[in-house]
Amino acid sequence: MKKGLILLVIFLLVGCESILTDAPNANEAKNKDGQEANADSATRSDNHSDENDSNIETQTIHVTAEQVTRGNLVLVNKEHPLDEGAVPTDIVKLFQEQDLMNGYVLLDNTIRLSRSVALQFREMVDAAGEDGVHHFMISSGYRDTEEQEVLYREKGSDYALPPGYSEHNLGLSMDIGSTQMSIDQAPEGKWLQKHAWEFGFILRYPPDKTEITGIQYEPWHFRYVGLPHSMIMNDLGLTLEEYLDYLKNSSSYKTTVEGKKYEITYVPVTTKDIALEIPAGSEYEVSGNNIDGVIVTVNLSQDDGE
């Protein structure tokens, strides 16, 4: 009987030792799981901030509710009319700006456009010229609401939008043609399809996105959104509508263009004034989406001494 009790005690002790030996392994597995979860979380947060962000000096910028309707990324379509204050103040009649007129012609002498956008367009056609593509023409640019009203009455709703609902009322869009043939067949159109994004332009109404844009394919209609946005939209195959939704769902996005690092952040605007922290000394741009918030684009390259 005593032998049996002794054997039972030995058996229990061995069993306890086995349990105690296994316990650290169980805890270790739990810690590993926690580390993996943390690593995944860190990977996701890397799209939003660096590990040492807390050590970076910051500056405060203020975003006002008015800025929701201003900037290169504002959405203007059948659902989101243009705010009159969004029209750039540098609208010019291109015919009178000879420094802007290199490399292309105008359909008529009344065509207007934002001067800063016209400068980007001039750089773009200069680059196309280096590739042997020369026959560009601007057939339409900025229209004020009165001009849009006339067009809408003449063409009807099947071919024109009401005043305030057309991108041409914004001053950042243009219809680009070729003096040789229709733009969808011309070398100019094919060159733009490949390279326009490099200069901040997007084909606004692609052939396979009509259900999203609400506009039939227009191979001539290009919109300026600026870099790095045009590159991201080109890489991901997104229209402006889709891109704004993408940024809103991502909250923050990082990318590199021509050696420059950018962080792009969607910020909902719910009050008249919002204070935001960005790296001190950084170049930045703020554009509204014309819906409910702003897109803050920060050039992070200066943080690396570039």
Catalytic residues: 218
Give the β-pairing of 112-114 and 260-268.
Answer: unpaired
Beta bridge partner(s), residue 84: none
Q: Collect all residues with Cβ–Cβ distance below 8 Å to 26 and sequence separation of at least 6.
A: none
Token readout for 223 is 């919109």
Alpha helices in 205-256 (DSSP H): 210-213, 229-236, 240-250
CA distance linking residue 95 with residue 110, whole number of Å: 7
> What radius of gyration do the chain's Cα atoms show?
28
Please give the helix or strand (H or E) that residue 25 lies within, else none.
helix 2-46
What whole-number distance in Å separates Cα of residue 165 and Cα of residue 215?
Answer: 12
Please, are residues 81 and 161 in contact by the beta-carbon 8 Å criterion? no
46: tokens are 């890397």
| Residue positions counted in the chain | 306
